Structure 1
Amino acid sequence: MLKPAERGFFVGYFKKVPADVRALMIGFIVFFVAGMASASVLLSINTESPGAGRYADELHGEHLIGTMETSPYPILRVPATGSRPARAIMLAGSGKFGVDDRALPLAGKAAQVGGVFVKRGDLEMLLIGGGDDLRAAEPQAVALPDPSPSKNLGRWRLTGEICDGKCGGGAMKPGTGLAHKACANLCINGGVPPVFVSTAPVEGHIFFLLSSTNGGPMPEGLLDKTGVPVVLEGAIERRDDLLIFKVDGFVNGAGA
């Protein structure tokens, strides 16, 4: 008479596992590990890279000249020059502060701005120092062309994370995630423009300047949602190379 192990049954108090059961277990483990590894590779290939955050001394002590806009946050609209297209550059100050008080007197006027960039993927923010790094442009530079009108890209529902554009751009590492939540709140409260990092691109962009539905600063209710996955709804507006997410709805936490 065949023993249980020989008949293909597994009995806990027998030390020997039947050959067919053992082969099935080994095959399942190999298949599971190979499947998880393949899925990881495919997900990494299909995920949009946000880029590595870094400082970039693009100006080398020089200045950019453009039209100052202050809604939803200070933005310098730099006209196209030669082969370089027009740019809309978010502005922030030193430390955890924005430059609203310095930019407001120049709203709608030609401004001369200097500093150092932080850049990550399609996100760029110019960090302005003190002194002459932000002032009215010289008289010979005042005759700037009017900035191009904003373009409405429609209504979107996006999943992603709210962070501040300065640390998210590379001023801090990590500049995103739950570990950065308190720092992000301090920066945004101090006037640093907040950005939304989307899990899916819109017209090639995954970073969006956040604003309220009327074009003002980000709704205060979203300050508690920084550093965690969220789903937001609203219209997206393009200003030159900058996309602005005008949020009018918080759907839920993405993990809810």
Structure 2
Amino acid sequence: MLKPPERGFFVGYFKKVPADIRRLMLVFIATFIGTFAAAAFVLALDTDSPGSGSFAGPPPEGEITGTIDLLPYPVLRVAASPGSPARAIMLAGTGKFGVSDRAEKLKGKSVVVGGFFVKRGDLEMLLVGGKMKAEDEQPADLPVPQAPEDLGRWRLTGEICDGKCAAGAMRPGTGLAHKACANLCISGGVPPVFVSTAPVEGRSFFLMASADGGPMPAWLLNKTAIPVVLEGRVERRDDLLVFKVDGQAKDGGT
């Protein structure tokens, strides 16, 4: 009966693999698995973080009462109360649409809005979940929101995103992979935001507007989801900063 040689030669119909070949195969398998594991780890380090954005749930009271600014995009202005400062809350719909049509009919009235928040750091947006109507009994004197405060002219580096996804409706809601989604949301009326690499007055997220205070210029859709440098004036509305772009965009790397 034939016997396998003690070393250096493998015959397929013998059950026993020579020791030196067995050791070589084990080293090869361990190296192969280790190489791919290391490659996966290195590639994962270069992957963009999905961010801390999340669905933060409905307002504590279930709904919020305030008045609406229509431009550049619908913003709910909530008057200050004891222990609570005035707020300016960006509004969007639950799909890839804004709420401009609904908000237009409520101008100059006290409005009750229901929905749920998406939040990422100091970026916060209320997604209107059905309820958005004038109060049944209008107050004799509506609270008058504070006038915007001009914070001067700024040159900012960052990224243009749609405020809904950037705040947590999508993860990640920023970066080039999100460009098509961002453009669909912004084109549908979702308020766009500028995510700055450096804060202004402690804020890194800005509602975007044109130089005259209207919606973001359409040509900036070509600059979403990439590093970009923009110039314009920044104004404060309660706890919200608005970036009124009045210059040409430059690539962020230049």
Aligned counterparts, 1:79-228, within 5 A:
79-130=79-130, 133-139=131-137, 141=139, 143-228=141-226
The structural deviation recorded for 1:138 is 2.6
Tell me how far 1:108 sits from its aligned partner: 2.7
SS, match of residue 216 in structure 1: coil
Change (3 A) 1:142 1:228: farther
Q: Distance in 2 between matches of 1:86 and 1:55?
A: 22
The answer for the alignment partner of 1:77 in structure 2 is 77
TM alignment of 1:21-32, pairs within 5 A: none
Listed as ranges, the gaps of 5+ residues in structure 2 are 1-48
The one-letter code matched in structure 1 to 2:184 is: L
Give CA-to-partner distance per residue, 1:60-105, whole Å, 9 cap, x none: 5721110111000000000012111000000000110000110001
Give the superposition deviation at 1:145: 1.6
TM-score of the two chains, using structure 2 as the length reference: 0.78
Q: Where does residue 34 of structure 1 map in the other structure? A: none
- Partners of 2:140 and 2:219 lie apart in 1 by 39
Write the deviation string for residues 231-254 of structure 1: whole angstroms up to 9, x where unpaired: 000000100000000001124111
Q: In the TM superposition, what whole-angstrom CA distance separates every residue of 1:157-206 from its partner, at most 9, and x where no partner exists?
A: 00000000000000001100001000000000000000000000000000
Contact 1:51 1:121 survives alignment (8 Å): no
Rg larger in structure: 2
In 1, Cα distance between equivalents of 2:110 and 2:50: 32
Q: CA deviation at 1:106?
A: 0.9
The residue that corresponds to 2:6 in the other structure is: none
TM-score by length of 1: 0.77
Mark the runs of 5 or more structure 1 residues left unpaired by the alignment. 1-48
Which residue matches 1:10?
Answer: none
1:50–1:121 CA contact under 8 A, matched in 2: no
Following TM superposition, the consecutive aligned residue runs of length 4 or more in structure 1 with deviations greater than 2 angstroms are 140-144
Q: Is the 8 A contact 1:50 1:206 kept in 2?
A: no
Task: Report the Cα distance in structure 2 between the residues aligned to 1:135 and 1:238, rounded to whole angstroms.
Answer: 26
Measured in 1, the distance between the counterparts of 2:118 and 2:89 equals: 11
Q: Following superposition of structure 1 onto structure 2, how do residues 224-239 of structure 1 map, counting pairs within 5 Å?
A: 224-239=222-237
Label 1:50 to 1:157 Cα distance change in 2 as closer, same or farther (>3 A). farther
Residue type matched to 2:231 in 1?
Answer: E
What is the 5 A alignment of 1:35-74? 52-59=52-59, 62-74=62-74
Deviation at 1:141, TM superposition (A): 4.7
Contact map agreement 2:63 2:114 (CA 8 A) in 1? yes
Question: Conserved in 1, the CA contact under 8 Å of 2:160 and 2:192?
Answer: yes
Question: Are the aligned partners of 1:210 and 1:245 in contact in 2 as well (CA < 8 Å)?
Answer: yes
Whole-angstrom CA distance in 1 between matches of 2:53 and 2:186: 18
Return the offset for 1:142: 6.0
**1:13 matched residue in structure 2:** none
TM-align CA RMSD: 1.7
